[in-house]
Amino acid sequence: MAATKKPRLRLRDVALCRLLSVVFVTLCGVLLLIFLLSSNSTSTTIVTHDTDSVDAYHHDLKFEKWHDLPQQSDLSLRLEKMNRLPPRNLDLYPTLAKDHIIVVLYVHNRPQYLKVVVESLSHVVGIGETLLIVSHDGYFEDMNKIIDGIRFCQVKQIYAPYSPHLFSDSFPGVSADDCKDKDDPTEKHCKGNPDQYGNHRSPKIVSLKHHWWWMMNTVWDGLRETRDHSGHVLFIEEDHFIFPNAYRNLQVLTSLKPKKCPDCYAANLAPSDVNSRGEGWATLIAERMGNVGYSFNRTVWKKIHNKAREFCFFDDYNWDITMWATVYPSFGSPVYSLRGPRTSAVHFGRCGLHQGQGENKACMDNGMVNINVEQPDTVSNIELGWNVHTYENQPGYKAGFKGWGGWGDHRDRHLCLSFANMYQ
């Protein structure tokens, strides 16, 4: 009887062991799965928390990994990270006004000029309602110190990470094997393509057009603060004096533009003739778009962006001449801008782009800028009931002008095209 029971006990024991093994493995698997899910959830939370203020940039600012852009320098990479920082002075100006007009100030390396425009902006009525973006072509401590002192509005600094000023021994800066002046590439065994006049690229000169195009693409399509902004953006430069009524006048102009001048692409603070202070008439003015205090919206930007190839392949290192001579004419109709009859911004620069740096005051009269601000310049002086006077057939650069050169190198042209694609 005992002999017949033993095998049954063994079979039962074996079955029980197998059952326990299955249960044990199943429990281990469940615990492991719970651990992995928990770990993954924790990791995601940390990443989200750490990048909460810059999450919109993680896709946009990694464009160099899949576009044909130059190898970045250490400084270039550091500056690109700084572009992700939120605006300053949020404690003083926590919110922006509804339908605000963003102001973009693009600068190079003329601190004496920058002090003047920043001081003028500090007196602009309504400036505290909006965001001021300062776009730097290169990194210069003297320029940074001036921007650091701004307390009159939200301010955000961005730096062109592919500025030639950041690359000391490689493109887009100067390379050892680059052709210079009118070098013959075959004789000199050097690199580069000459412009239409036989001159090779100058990094300091081409930086002007590179910076403007990179800035436009970044402001409209790259920055978290502006990528969804559909209203107007005002663009000014470091040698533009801005009158106290500029922002309020611009608000009036942009509101009147759809009714008074539906064919106008932009609104301007100043006449296209930089030497003019306006006509003083009781009428609005429609004329070709100027390069002092100009503003337009996203619809116009898309039209400009669609002409990236025309912009990038036109042999002129000036962004504004490129626009006048090839981009605007390609729209198929005159490109007018609406402005008031009295200027609200003045171009005061007397030096070229790469002069007037450091403490050199030779570019100013006795080291100062003397601009007379009268009482009408302190308040909005545009009447809602005014009619529009249109200037037709104005002198200036038009379709057919071949350009001043300086933009013949294929590398500059393809870098320019890369900027057009980096946020698309």
Phi, psi of 393 (to 5 degrees): 55, 50
Q: What is the pLDDT of residue 393?
A: 85
DSSP 372-419: ---GGGSS----TT--EEE--S-SS--TT----BS---HHHHHHHHHH
Q: What is the pLDDT of residue 29?
A: 56
Mean pLDDT per 10-residue interval, the chain, length 424 residues:
41 51 54 43 28 40 56 94 97 96 97 96 98 97 97 98 94 94 93 96 96 98 96 97 98 98 97 95 97 98 98 98 97 95 93 48 58 95 98 90 97 97 91
Which domains occur in the chain, in start order? 74-351+364-421 (3.90.550.10)
Q: What is the pLDDT of residue 68?
A: 77
Phi, psi of 354 (to 5 degrees): -105, 30
Q: Where is 34: in which H helix or E strand?
A: helix 2-50
Task: Please say whether the beta carbons of 106 and 135 come within 8 A.
Answer: yes
Task: Please say whether the beta carbons of 116 and 348 come within 8 A.
Answer: yes
Residue numbers belonging to the annotated binding site for substrate:
137
Residue numbers belonging to the annotated binding site:
137, 239, 347
- Pick the closest to residue 256 from 248, 299, 228 (CA basis): 248
Give the Cα-Cα-Cα angle 88, 94, 95 (nearest 5 degrees): 115
Task: Please say whether the beta carbons of 404 and 320 come within 8 A.
Answer: no
- Pick the closest to residue 400 from 351, 335, 337, 329 (CA basis): 329
pTM of the model: 0.83
Q: What is the pLDDT of residue 336?
A: 96
Residue numbers belonging to the annotated binding site for Mn(2+):
239, 347
